[in-house]
Structure 1
Amino acid sequence: MVLDAYTYVFALGSMFALLEAYNNGANDVANAWATSVSSRSVTYRQAMILCTIFELTGALAVGARTASTIKNGIIPSSAFGTNAGVQLLAFACSSAGASIWVMWCTRNSAHVSSTYSLVSSIAGVGVAAVGASKVQWGWSGGSGLGAIFAGLAMAPFISACFAAIIFMLIKVTVHMRKNPLPWAVWTSPFFFLIAGTVCSLSIVYKGSPRLGLDKKPPWYIASVSLGTGFGLALLAALFFVPYVHCKVVKKDQDLKIWNVFQGPLLFKRPAPENADQLQAHVPNYAVVQEPVDDVSSDSSSAKPHNTDGSEEIKPVAASPGHDQEKGVIGLSPDYTYLQYQQLLRDARERHHAKLRKTKGPLGWAMRSLHENQLGAGSIHETHNLVAAVKRIPAMIVVAFLYGTHYDIHTAQVGIHNSPEGRRMERVYSHAAKYSNEVEHLYSYVQVITACTASFAHGANDVGNAVGVWAGMYAAWSTGNPSASKAEVPLWQLGVTAATICIGFITYGYNIMKVMGNKLTYHSPSRGSSMEMGAAITILIFSQYALPVSTSMCITGATVGVGLCNGTWKAVNWKRVGLLFFSWVMTVPIAGLIGGCLMGLAVNTPHW
């Protein structure tokens, strides 16, 4: 009977642990990749592939480092004595508390830290299970709550400093030159050097005990890390530099991606005869603010209307001087709250109308949902029951594929002439716009920095998510409380990392649409600096087994780069304030949810 109860609690706790990992991917990973997608360096689908590869690599190579802190640093194993059932129940309630809070926030596009949600939930559970005196509130050798929550202030600041330093190097070395393009080409291997060194250092230096690398002498660590970094930089100099030189300097529009393997021979490739009159064949990386009139025949009107559809409603003209800050000229209409919500619904319907015209499983599913909407009356009416049954297969398909077709860029620019849209126009007006040729070069660099950031997230946040699951597994499989130094099974790291990637792929768009360009102006050169600054900070904290929020790091890095424009007006401080508020509120709310669940479970009448 005891084993049956253990199995039941373990199964329930595992479900919540994986749900917490899923929400981690939909929230934290989406925030980390929002920079690259916002800068148009990668598409959402490309980000999915790269995220899966490097998230798994970081998790399997380094991910167990922070798991011990989550598992034993907040509530010591000794606090449970010999009662493995209470420890199993405590970890299950911790996962439930964190997953419930992060899931609600993700559903409402609220950006929170899954790391601090889990940590706060564990603290609340500890108070309910073993008492406040047994919870490690202080520094506790770098693994207690004092050390963890110190990162709440330190991590964003350190990330901002690293990102600002990197971007200022780019700005001074490249952007401020009279002819910045050659400087951008020849200095690009520097980023490959940093990325290779940082990633290899995180694996070698106390990173992968399974490979025995944590016992190596300092000279070995330095030589392997620097050798990897310089080797990657050398490959970039031999293959990447000639390719981008031919593409953006010589403006060779006939160049194909497979020509990169010609390496230095590309320098001898003749430039087009009319190269002086050509523009480099590169995308436009400017953030588009103007709305696009692309209304499908079966979509709703772009104009706002009453929610009951009775009559078209029009925005009210702003009063003289209203919201007329620098960069905004003339009067612009104001929409009421209900009108603004209707505009959002209209934009979503236009997007759905496009999807209904596509081929493939998602197009079929969207058409099926559109054709089988619930009709009049209650859900138990026959026609509604039939429609609900027909909608089930389509809803499953949409759940898996909708995120891969979401238009992140359109969602990020906001509603034109709304308060948010005008606010972002003011923010963008204070940011310098650099040439598309230079930004195109850094779009390649940003792919490397984004992969580094994803590797760093796998090294840190996977350990956070798997820590409680590993504790539950040890208590369930052995019948004894989890040992403080118990090794995290490799299969649990892999399953957790895969679940995080699924969360990013299927639901990450819900966070990405409110991040990125809504904090400050993004471009590939800025984005690569943000991601590298955040990645360095995350990996530093991981090496000392300190869980840190990836979201906080990338947000701090974004603010740091935004301030490099030379004015505080280049940052959307309202959005930053909302993010900080959500971080602060996460601590008590997640703690209360986890603590209340544990209190109810422990004190439930039993026989």
Structure 2
Amino acid sequence: MTVPYDTSLIWLVVVGFLVAFVLAFGIGANDVANSFGTSVGAGVLTIFKACILATIFEIAGAVLIGYKVSDTMRKGILDVSLYEGHEQELMLGSLSSLAGSAIWLLFATALRLPISGTHSIVGATVGFSLVCRGTAGVRWGALGSIAASWFASPLLSGSVSAAIFWLIRKTVLRSNEPLKQGLNILPLAYGLTIAINILSIAHDGPKLLMLDKVPWWGSVTTSLGVGLVSAAVVYTFVVPWQRKKILLSHSSAKNAEFCGTDLKETTALSVISEVPAAASGSELLNAEAPKLRGNNSASHLLLAAGGDAEGAPGDVDGILDEEHPDVSKLFSFLQVLTAAFGSFAHGGNDVSNAIGPLIALWSVYAEGSARQETETPLLILLYGGLGISTGLWIWGRRVIQTLGQDLARITPTTGFTIEVGAALTVLLASKAGLPVSTTHCKVGSVVCVGWASRGGEGVSWTLFRNIAFAWLVTVPVAGCLSAGCMAVFRQVITL
């Protein structure tokens, strides 16, 4: 039975919970844009729908897979044994970490800059430790491996996303029959996405569901089985439904012509409905683009027929350069699925940033020991997930606009590749207990896919430069803020 360290310090725990909620709010406002920003930018989801889905999957990810990274954040960066006999000092340090990273995250969100919550909390943790124990209190080896992942994660995530996009462009977008090819790969895309998501939960999963006792081969078999069933369902029901839906939209377009619709406004619809089955998206563009560029009404109608009318950024020409409108329809819902996948991964990885120091604070108080032997409480993980969701609802649209619209032009197809590459990278890191930056993964994927799809003009390099600069200063700024808080605590509170 554990005995509280000192009941007179309950105020520290209460303040810690309040500050942790503010930090979770900042992470939700800034980091959750990583999950659904591309879906909103591609016009697949409204911000309202994105917030609803994000709330569900962020909390689920936090509770189901968040405990592993939480353990790394609270015990892997610092040598907590140095604080034995000085538990109050460690509690104040955890509170300083929460406060320093929360201030920086809220400030960056006000500037619409997507920064790393992981960078913030790691920098803040090192900052208070330097004040308390100097360089001896930091495990530089563990910090070095985490820092290396910060640079590797955007490159890895971007490479995976760009490779997936290259395959889709080669096999679908530039094929002679893009719609037919898109329908053919749809079951595979759904099956793989769902299988990876199931594997992330089943392999060494949460003790709450007793999944930690399932052997690795059992997890793999289950995931592949669910993926195959999903692919079969998509092949049997979704593919025919999508084909019928698209053909009906083409038929409606033709009927609009015969009902006396103005010729200029029907040009875009006739481009879609009358294109021969063997014509590729590139041939369609080459044949009709001159007409469309001189006809704004036709351009808007073509955009609507492609399923991107809702909030899609930029002019229509950039979308036509790569994507047949019918293919956009196929990938629209799949992008929602992958966004949910990414949101689940974000909840599992980044909830630790909000509540890692809080769990340390609670564990020291509850156990009376700096070693923190107890497991991560699920209720505190849930608390962090709720704070993240609150920040998304209230302030999340600011960074969603930056990542989903301003950094690069995104379509359902490119959005799908961005989501899958980034989420896969984050999930693998979460299972390894490595707190990589979801921000770095998603921004790396957006930049790489934007460059791969449209060359140098596909990315706003000025905005990327500003984001990269914010990344560079995050660790020292959060560290200085945390160190300042700790210095004040040492002056006003008797240790």
Q: Secondary structure at the match of 1:131?
A: helix
Residue 103 of structure 1 is matched in structure 2 by: 106
Residue 522 of structure 1 is matched in structure 2 by: 410
Residue 236 of structure 1 is matched in structure 2 by: 234
Residue 123 of structure 2 is matched in structure 1 by: 120
- Contact 1:541–1:548 (8 Å) recurs in 2: yes
Residue 24 of structure 1 is matched in structure 2 by: 27
Deviation at 1:431, TM superposition (A): 8.1
Q: Deviations over 1:153-200 (max 9, x none)?
A: 100000001101111111111100122111112211222112212111
Q: Deviations over 1:291-349 (max 9, x none)?
A: xxxxxxxxxxxxxxxxxxxxxxxxxxxxxxxxxxxxxxxxxxxxxxxxxxxxxxxxxxx
Match of 2:88 among 49, 61, 85: 85
- Return the alpha-carbon distance in structure 1 between the equivalents of residues 354 and 157 of structure 2: 22
1:554 equivalent to 2:473? Answer: no
Deviation at 1:5, TM superposition (A): 4.5
Deviation at 1:429, TM superposition (A): 5.4
User: Normalising by the residue count of structure 2, what TM-score does the alignment of the two structures yield?
Assistant: 0.84
Deviation at 1:562, TM superposition (A): 1.3
Alignment of 1:158-177 (within 5 A): 158-177=156-175
Deviation at 1:205, TM superposition (A): 1.8
Deviation at 1:82, TM superposition (A): 2.6
Residue 536 of structure 1 is matched in structure 2 by: 424
Residue 497 of structure 1 is matched in structure 2 by: 385
- Contact 1:428–1:520 (8 Å) recurs in 2: no
Match of 1:67 among 61, 70, 83: 70
Residue 592 of structure 1 is matched in structure 2 by: 480
Q: Deviations over 1:362-400 (max 9, x none)?
A: xxxxxxxxxxxxxxxxxxxxxxxxxxxxxxxxxxxxxxx
Deviation at 1:582, TM superposition (A): 0.4
1:486 equivalent to 2:484? Answer: no
Say what the alpha-carbon RMSD is for the aligned residues: 2.6
Match of 1:440 among 312, 329, 338: 329
Change (3 A) 1:217 1:515: closer
User: Normalising by the residue count of structure 1, what TM-score does the alignment of the two structures yield?
Assistant: 0.69
Change (3 A) 1:605 1:44: closer
Match of 2:179 among 155, 178, 181: 181
Which blocks of at least 5 consecutive residues in structure 2 are unaligned?
Answer: 259-268, 274-309
Q: Deviations over 1:403-435 (max 9, x none)?
A: xxxxx949x76xxxxxxxxxxx8x985982422
Q: Deviations over 1:236-277 (max 9, x none)?
A: 2222212111111453779xxxxxxxxxxxxxxxx99x9x97
Change (3 A) 1:21 1:164: same
Identity of counterpart residues, as a percentage?
31
Change (3 A) 1:463 1:605: closer
Paired amino acid for 1:477: A
Structure with greater helix percent: 2
- Return the alpha-carbon distance in structure 2 between the equivalents of residues 52 and 25 of structure 1: 10
Deviation at 1:498, TM superposition (A): 1.3
Residue 215 of structure 2 is matched in structure 1 by: 217
- Contact 1:247–1:253 (8 Å) recurs in 2: no
- Contact 1:101–1:117 (8 Å) recurs in 2: yes
- Return the alpha-carbon distance in structure 1 between the equivalents of residues 186 and 271 of structure 2: 24
Deviation at 1:529, TM superposition (A): 0.5
Deviation at 1:219, TM superposition (A): 2.1
- Asked which structure has the greater CA Rg, the reply is 1
Residue 339 of structure 1 is matched in structure 2 by: none
- Contact 1:409–1:513 (8 Å) recurs in 2: no
Q: Secondary structure at the match of 2:112?
A: coil
Change (3 A) 1:431 1:11: farther
Alignment of 1:359-398 (within 5 A): none
Paired amino acid for 1:37: V
Paired amino acid for 2:357: V
Deviation at 1:603, TM superposition (A): 3.3
- The farther-off stretch of 176-185 and 2-11 is 2-11
Deviation at 1:464, TM superposition (A): 2.6
- Return the alpha-carbon distance in structure 2 between the equivalents of residues 486 and 193 of structure 1: 38
- Return the alpha-carbon distance in structure 1 between the equivalents of residues 70 and 76 of structure 2: 9
